[in-house]
């Protein structure tokens, strides 16, 4: 049996009848930039993520970069985040003028360990960026409490956790601002590139609107230098359609994750992902921890099961961050996980037969360890 890591073709075939008429409307009216599809998407996103303002932009990376610019990051400012994330989180900090400062992750949930924040705070620290990785939020209560006590802002990287919940609150609604990504493979993915900034603050939302459009609120009146970081109408129209399906897709991911949990709970040598207190994950990825991970991935591949690695090299050990001079061994939990985490196939259409086959093959491969 072949089990892909991700299947983007099946859902898009089913969505053609909903998306194509909207795209035809955009083509006929040549309304490619801005307009009702973009403002409509922003309204829908704000409602779904329970925030007052959503600003649609060109990518999740832009969303993060525009947030740090809007928060007035200055050269030398430090921002605390995790080394177990996609590089976009730290690229955005650096490109807005700041310096990423890493803290280790929690060994159960693989998200920022709140107990490690205080030791990383210096006089230059401006904020903390918890990354809601693999579809689960970080432990936000202690993170928000420490930030408030120390006068820091909290920006959520909610790229991988659309509609995940923490103690009844939506991912992206708890920090001063949040970013999400509509990269096609995300739980809510565009048919190209897009992302969004979420916030309850009208002034910050207005500033991000300017930053995404060359610093202008009115055409050719540039209050500051910004970017061309707008979300286009074709993406916005497709995203509006897909957003309506997101709750049912997240449910299907939960069902698949439940089957994985059930079938793997007694398999020796497979550590299942832990769910934090009060967390309702949306399973962007389903990661297991195994010894001899690369051999197991290769054996699964031979049996037709595709897997992924998120992430094989922690950010502090990447060439790009050699200049930060962080030695190997500084973040033991992240480094341990980077060698052992294996992402199993995860997408809403995953069938019972497929999850059963993946578990059967994984158990057989792990037995050889």
**Which residue lies nearer to ligand PLP by CB, 99 or 310?**
310
The residue behind tokens 């910004």 is 226
Window 90-129: contact mask with ligand PLP (x via CB under 6 A): ----------------------------------------
DSSP 186: S
Q: Which residue number is nearest to ligand PLP in terms of Cβ? A: 60
Interaction between residue 157 and ligand PLP (CB under 6 A)? yes
Stretch that binds ligand PLP, among 39-47, 81-89, 119-127, 204-212 (CB under 6 A): 81-89
With both helix axes pointing from N to C terminus, report the angle between 233-264 and 9-29 in degrees, rounded to the nearest 10: 170
Taking CB under 6 A as the binding criterion, the range among 84-92, 118-126, 204-212, 213-221 that sits at the site for ligand PLP is: 84-92
CA pair distance 260, 267, nearest whole angstrom: 11
Provide the minimum distance between the beta carbon of 252 and ligand PLP in the complex, in angstroms, as a whole number.
Answer: 20
Contacts of 260 (CB under 8 A, 6+ apart): 272, 286, 288, 344, 355, 358, 359
Residues whose CB falls within 8 Å of the CB of residue 132, separated by 6 or more in sequence, listed in order: 111, 138, 156, 157, 158, 159, 160, 161, 164, 171
Beta carbon nearer to ligand PLP, 90 or 125:
90
Which of positions 168-197 make contact with ligand PLP (CB under 6 A)?
181, 183, 195
Q: Which is nearer to ligand PLP, 60 or 276 (CB)?
A: 60
Residue with tokens 């290769």: 298
**Nearest of 8, 18, 3, 6 to residue 245 by alpha carbon:** 18
With respect to ligand PLP, which residue has the nearer C-beta, 188 or 264?
188
Stretch that binds ligand PLP, among 71-79, 82-90, 222-230, 271-279 (CB under 6 A): 82-90
The stretch among 152-160, 203-211, 235-243, 261-269 that binds ligand PLP (CB under 6 A) is 152-160
Residue 308 near ligand PLP by CB under 6 A: no
- 45 belongs to the binding site for ligand PLP (CB under 6 A): no
Residues numbered 126-145 forming contacts with ligand PLP, rule: CB under 6 A: 131
C-alpha to C-alpha distances, 124 to 95, 152, 273, 301, nearest whole angstrom: 17, 10, 34, 47
Angstrom distances, CA of residue 194 to CA of 7, 128, 199, 270, 288: 19, 24, 17, 35, 29
| 343 forms part of the interface with ligand PLP (CB under 6 A) | no
**60 makes contact with ligand PLP (CB under 6 A):** yes
Longest C-alpha distance within the chain, in Å?
66
Is 86 near ligand PLP (CB under 6 A)?
yes
Q: How many residues bind ligand PLP (CB under 6 A)?
A: 14
Cis ω for the linkage preceding 324 (within 30 of 0): no
- For ligand PLP, the binding residues (CB under 6 A) are 59-61, 85-86, 88-89, 131, 157, 159-160, 181, 183, 195
């Amino acid at each position: 049996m072949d089990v892909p890591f991700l299947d983007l073709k099946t859902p898009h075939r089913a969505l053609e009848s909903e998306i194509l008429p909207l795209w035809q409307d955009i083509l006929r009216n040549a309304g490619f930039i801005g307009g009702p599809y973009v403002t409509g998407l922003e309204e829908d996103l704000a409602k779904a993520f329970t925030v007052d303002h959503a600003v649609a932009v060109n990518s999740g990376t832009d969303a993060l970069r525009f947030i740090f610019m809007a928060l007035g990051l200055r050269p030398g400012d430090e921002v605390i985040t995790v080394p177990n994330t996609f590089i976009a989180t730290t690229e955005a900090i650096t490109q807005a003028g700041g310096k990423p400062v890493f803290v280790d992750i929690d060994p159960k949930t693989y998200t920022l360990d709140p107990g490690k924040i205080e030791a990383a705070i210096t006089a230059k620290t401006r904020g903390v960026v918890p990354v809601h990785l693999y579809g689960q939020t970080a432990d936000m209560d202690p993170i928000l409490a420490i930030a408030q006590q120390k006068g820091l802002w909290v920006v959520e990287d909610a790229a991988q956790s659309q509609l995940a919940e923490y103690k009844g609150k939506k991912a992206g609604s708890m920090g001063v601002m949040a970013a999400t990504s509509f990269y096609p493979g995300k739980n809510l993915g565009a048919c190209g590139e897009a992302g969004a900034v979420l916030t309850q603050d009208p002034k910050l939302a207005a500033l991000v609107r300017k930053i995404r459009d060359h610093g202008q609120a009115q055409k050719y009146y540039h209050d500051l230098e910004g970017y061309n970081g707008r979300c286009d109408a074709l993406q916005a129209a497709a995203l509006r359609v897909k957003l309506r399906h997101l709750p049912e897709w997240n449910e299907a991911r939960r069902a698949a994750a439940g089957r994985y949990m059930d079938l793997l709970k007694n398999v020796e040598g497979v550590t299942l992902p832990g769910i934090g207190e009060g967390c309702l994950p949306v399973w962007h990825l389903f990661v297991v921890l195994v010894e001899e991970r690369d051999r197991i991935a290769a054996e699964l591949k031979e049996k037709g099961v595709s897997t992924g690695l998120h992430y094989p090299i922690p950010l502090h050990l990447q060439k790009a961050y050699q200049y930060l001079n962080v030695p190997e061994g500084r973040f033991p939990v992240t480094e341990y996980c980077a060698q052992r985490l294996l992402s199993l196939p995860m997408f809403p259409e995953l069938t019972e037969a497929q999850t059963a086959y993946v578990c059967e093959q994984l158990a057989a491969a792990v037995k050889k360890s």
